């Protein structure tokens, strides 16, 4: 590996490490849901508000990202984002109230702009032949962060349940475990902030702002010497048709919405809607809650979550191996088809489930709760998880249902749990092999340098509306009011719509420069 190639990999890896922190952030909260619901007395929508808090912050952050990344550069904006992640993690860990926790997570949401910035920056420094792999590092870091968060949640939950010596030595118990989970983000955020000082500014941003000598110097670190003059000339030439050194954000938006950019904009917006609407954000944030629907202890639910995360990580690595060989389009089409089949399996598993309290199950529950109020439901079979939990809540109240839901579902559920588990594993593999990395790679490729500072954050804004707010906010409500079957069926339909769109609209972009892709899309 040549020195420029090593440098491009190193800089991409550092910038993409923000994805690791993001992955921690979206999954660590999953281990706290039961605890914060009980501690702060939250309803389903209030739980959804806290989980989706970063999504609201992301809306503000992504609006500002366009201005700051264009005005002050990709690197400096990313440094600010890393600092925001750190402050958010500290505030979340010490939150004295649900409102404080929401705003601490909102602050972290401002930092979610790191995903769009990473795609923007890496797309601008990566050689065409390896751009897919390097931009894909963003998704790889997200998945690694998710996996590590799942492991942390599992060991903290399991340790507090078993009264392990290491938890006692740290003063960690069932009451404060959720604070340790959220506080685990502090150290990685600080490490990322420190490492970013190694990264140079994007040569394309420097050229965009009339700093051609600095752009050439930055490009020399990541480009083979014999290709340096040709590449800097291509970059400068692509910028010469408009005097965008003086373009305002409003003018850039006007250019973005012009007929020349129409296909690129449609691809960017639609694909960033489809990605979260497949339901993966909800599956990640609420995976232990989903597994609790299958029956099993809280600890086993977190253990299953770790297993799913590990398998998903493997398929993300596999995607990066093949993304520049097979191409974006075949992987995306195949992955969406795979996701449709997987979600159908999950929905079918829940469709065939039944829920019934028996004399034996009441004996099991008697060890942890007063079962006298449940006697009237004895041997009454329910085919809907919604109806069953509503009947339980009517008998014992919401507070008791929240506290003992896992135990009750374990005692009462008859379901092909292996079928649902395999369906969720398969869905995560499909997503991590296709939609997860491919969407961010496409965003880094389809937008020309002239509008990238507004286009990629705009698409990130759209992704945050759906993935950061709508999906996680309403998922607890969906499970509570629609049930698991209808909820996963909605996600299946969204995958099908995405498959049709990808087949008809999205072109292949592998092994092409950003400038070549711009000309191809403009000609459609």
Q: What DSSP letter does each residue of 148-161 carry, written as one string?
A: HHHHHHHHHHHHHH
Same domain, 397 and 440: no
> Whose CA is closest to 92, among 42, 141, 25?
25
Spatial distance between the Cα atoms of 206 and 144, rounded to a whole number of angstroms: 32
Q: Do 187 and 180 contact (CB within 8 A), yes or no?
A: no
As a whole number of angstroms, the distance between CA 82 and CA 86 comes to 7
Containing 451, the helix (H) or strand (E) segment is none
Which DSSP helix (H) or strand (E) runs through 355?
A: strand 354-355
- Closest listed residue to residue 477, CA positions, set 465, 490, 496: 490
Provide the angle, in degrees to the nearest 10, between the axes of the packed helices 435-446 and 114-125. Answer: 60
Answer whether residue 104 shows pLDDT above 80.
yes
Predicted structure pTM score: 0.67
Token couple for 461: 């804004």
Q: How far apart are CA 434 and CA 309, in angstroms?
A: 16
Least confident residue range of 181-190, 331-340, 350-359, 456-465: 456-465
> Residue 47 CA to chain centroid, in angstroms?
18
376 and 442 fall within a common domain: no
Structure confidence at residue 299 (pLDDT): 59
pLDDT tens sequence across 418-437: 888 888 889 988 998 998 88
Instruction: From 383, 414, 445, give the residue that closes a domain.
Output: 414
Range of the domain at 516: 3-350+419-522
Reported as a pLDDT band with limits 50, 70 and 90, residue 336 is very high
pLDDT tens profile 491-519: 999 999 999 999 998 888 887 777 777 77
Let me know whether 334 and 423 are in one domain.
Answer: yes
Same domain, 263 and 399: no
Give the chain's end-to-end CA distance (angstroms, integer): 37
Whether residue 241 is predicted with pLDDT greater than 60 in this model: the reply is no
Domain stops at, among 364, 396, 414: 414
How many structural domains does the chain have? 2
Those residues whose C-beta lies under 8 Å from the C-beta of residue 191, and which sit 6 or more positions away, are 17
Q: How far apart are CA 157 and CA 300, in angstroms?
A: 10
Q: Are residues 463 and 403 in the same domain?
A: no
- Backbone angles phi and psi of 382, in degrees to 5: -115, 140
Q: Are residues 467 and 379 in the same domain?
A: no
DSSP state of 464: I
Residue matched to tokens 């297993």: 307
pLDDT of residue 189: 92
């Amino acid at each position: 590996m040549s020195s420029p190639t090593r440098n491009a990999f190193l800089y991409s890896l550092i910038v993409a490490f923000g994805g690791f922190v993001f992955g921690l952030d979206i999954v660590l909260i999953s281990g706290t849901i039961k605890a914060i619901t009980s501690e702060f007395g939250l309803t389903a929508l209030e739980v959804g508000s806290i989980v989706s808090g970063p999504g609201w912050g992301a809306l503000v952050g992504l609006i500002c990202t366009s201005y700051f990344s264009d005005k002050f550069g990709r690197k400096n904006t990313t440094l600010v984002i890393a600092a925001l992640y750190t402050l958010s993690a500290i505030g979340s860990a010490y939150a004295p109230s649900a409102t404080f926790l929401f705003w601490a997570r909102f602050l972290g949401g401002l930092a979610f702009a790191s995903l769009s910035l990473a795609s923007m920056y890496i797309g601008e420094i990566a050689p065409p032949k390896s751009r897919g792999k390097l931009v894909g590092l963003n998704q790889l870091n997200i998945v690694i962060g998710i996996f590590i968060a799942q492991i942390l949640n599992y060991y903290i939950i399991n340790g507090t349940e078993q009264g392990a010596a290491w938890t006692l030595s740290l003063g960690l118990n069932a009451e404060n475990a959720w604070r340790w989970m959220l506080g685990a983000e502090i150290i990685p955020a600080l490490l990322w902030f420190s490492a970013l000082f190694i990264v140079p500014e994007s040569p394309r941003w420097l050229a965009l702002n009339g700093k051609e000598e600095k752009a050439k110097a930055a490009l020399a670190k990541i480009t083979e010497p014999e290709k340096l003059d040709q590449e800097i000339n291509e970059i400068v030439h692509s910028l010469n048709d408009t005097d965008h050194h003086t373009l305002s954000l409003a003018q850039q938006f006007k250019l973005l919405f012009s007929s020349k950019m129409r296909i690129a904009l449609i691809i960017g917006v639609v694909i960033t809607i489809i990605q979260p609407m497949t339901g993966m954000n909800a599956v990640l944030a609420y995976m232990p809650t989903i597994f609790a629907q299958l029956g099993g202890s809280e600890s086993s639910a977190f253990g299953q979550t770790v297993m799913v995360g590990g398998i998903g990580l493997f398929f993300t690595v596999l995607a990066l191996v093949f993304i520049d060989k097979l191409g974006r389009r075949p992987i995306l089409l195949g992955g969406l088809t795979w996701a449709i089949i997987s979600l159908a399996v999950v929905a079918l598993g829940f469709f065939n489930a039944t829920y019934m309290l028996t004399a034996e199950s009441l004996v099991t529950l008697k060890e942890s709760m007063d079962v006298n109020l449940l006697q009237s439901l004895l041997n009454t079979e329910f085919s809907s998880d919604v109806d069953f939990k509503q009947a339980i809540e009517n008998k014992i109240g919401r507070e008791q249902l929240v506290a003992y839901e896992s135990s009750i579902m374990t005692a009462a559920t008859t379901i092909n749990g292996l079928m649902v588990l395999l369906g969720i594993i398969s869905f995560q593999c499909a997503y991590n092999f296709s939609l997860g990395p491919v969407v961010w790679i496409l965003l880094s490729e389809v937008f020309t340098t002239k509008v990238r500072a507004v286009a990629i954050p705009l698409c990130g804004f759209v992704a945050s509306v759906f993935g950061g707010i709508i999906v996680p906010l309403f998922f607890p409500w969906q499970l509570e009011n629609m049930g698991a079957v209808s909820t996963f069926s909605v996600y299946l339909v969204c995958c099908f719509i995405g498959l049709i769109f990808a087949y008809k609209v999205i072109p292949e972009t592998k092994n092409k420069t950003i400038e070549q892709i711009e000309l191809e899309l403009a000609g459609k």
